[in-house]
Amino acid sequence: MAKADLEATYRAYIAVLNGRRFDKLVKYVHDRITYNDEPMTRQQYESLLAGDVRAIPDLVFQIRTLVVQRQEVACRLWFECTPQHEFLGIEPTGASIAFAEHVFYEFENDKIKRICSLIDRGAVEKQLRRT
Amino acid sequence: MAKADLEATYRAYIAVLNGRRFDKLVKYVHDRITYNDEPMTRQQYESLLAGDVRAIPDLVFQIRTLVVQRQEVACRLWFECTPQHEFLGIEPTGASIAFAEHVFYEFENDKIKRICSLIDRGAVEKQLRRT
């Protein structure tokens, strides 16, 4: 797949997340993936995402920096949101927070096969504990 | 600069860090940069790096995933090392640790202008507290 196509595919995947159309994940994510080096089924990955949006109903994935090469996508995602339930093990306080996620995806035949993600947990913690 | 050149430049920059040739940073880093959205001089950035290698003398920057597009470089770095002094505010225990850093660089005229980095502090903490 050409680079422009992979970028378009990734943007469509993010639109699916923001539209909460998790039924469409099958188009973008393999049946079996690894997430931070742990094996995971697409169903488990979907549960993870569903849990995040239950905890944070106004969660929007904003692409800040997107770097695409061969079958690799690296994205700096940005979130501005108000957690309603526990997120990353941290209780909500009603505060709105902003934080980054830096994530690397390896695609195989146009679908995500491997995800390595780091979330700025320190920023989340700091902003929720401050209030 | 062509993509292959930027990749080569980035790999040379990492070799400079691993060789502790901080006097050569001027070739790769602008006089003034932003580091996680904070303005920083190259001297301050050099001090930051020097502090890390003082705390962890066996710190080696291993490139695990490298994604290059236009003037952007995204890298998943991997470290296997034994902190000797406080690192990220965490005291050493003599334990060897392994952790990732996900970092995005924006280049301008072949030199780093902007760095956005997330380090897996949770992994560092967990491995040092375990012992």
| Residue B4 pLDDT level (bands cut at 50, 70, 90) | confident
Contacting B with CB below 8 Å, chain A residues are 3, 65, 67-69, 72-74, 76, 100-104, 106, 116, 118-122
Count of helix runs (H) and strand runs (E) in chain A = 3, 6
Of A68, A101, A104, the CB nearest to B76: A104
CATH, range A3-130:
3.10.450.50
Q: Which two tokens stand for residue B118?
A: 């997330």
Range in A1-5, A54-58, A122-126, B22-26 the model is least confident about: A1-5
**What is the per-residue pLDDT across B12-71, written as a single tens digit (0 to 9) for each?**
999 999 999 999 999 999 999 999 999 999 999 999 999 999 999 999 999 999 999 999
Determine, for residues B67 and A65 on separate chains, whether the beta-carbon distance falls below 8 Å.
Answer: no
- Architecture of domain B3-129 in this structure: Roll (3.10)
CA A40/CA A31 separation, integer angstroms:
9
Report how far apart, in Å, the C-alpha atoms of A9 and of each of A109, A128, B56 are: 11, 34, 41
Determine, for residues B118 and A118 on separate chains, whether the beta-carbon distance falls below 8 Å.
Answer: yes
CA A14/CA A28 separation, integer angstroms:
10
Determine, for residues A102 and B100 on separate chains, whether the beta-carbon distance falls below 8 Å.
Answer: no
CA B104/CA B73 separation, integer angstroms:
6
Q: Which two tokens stand for residue B30?
A: 């602008």
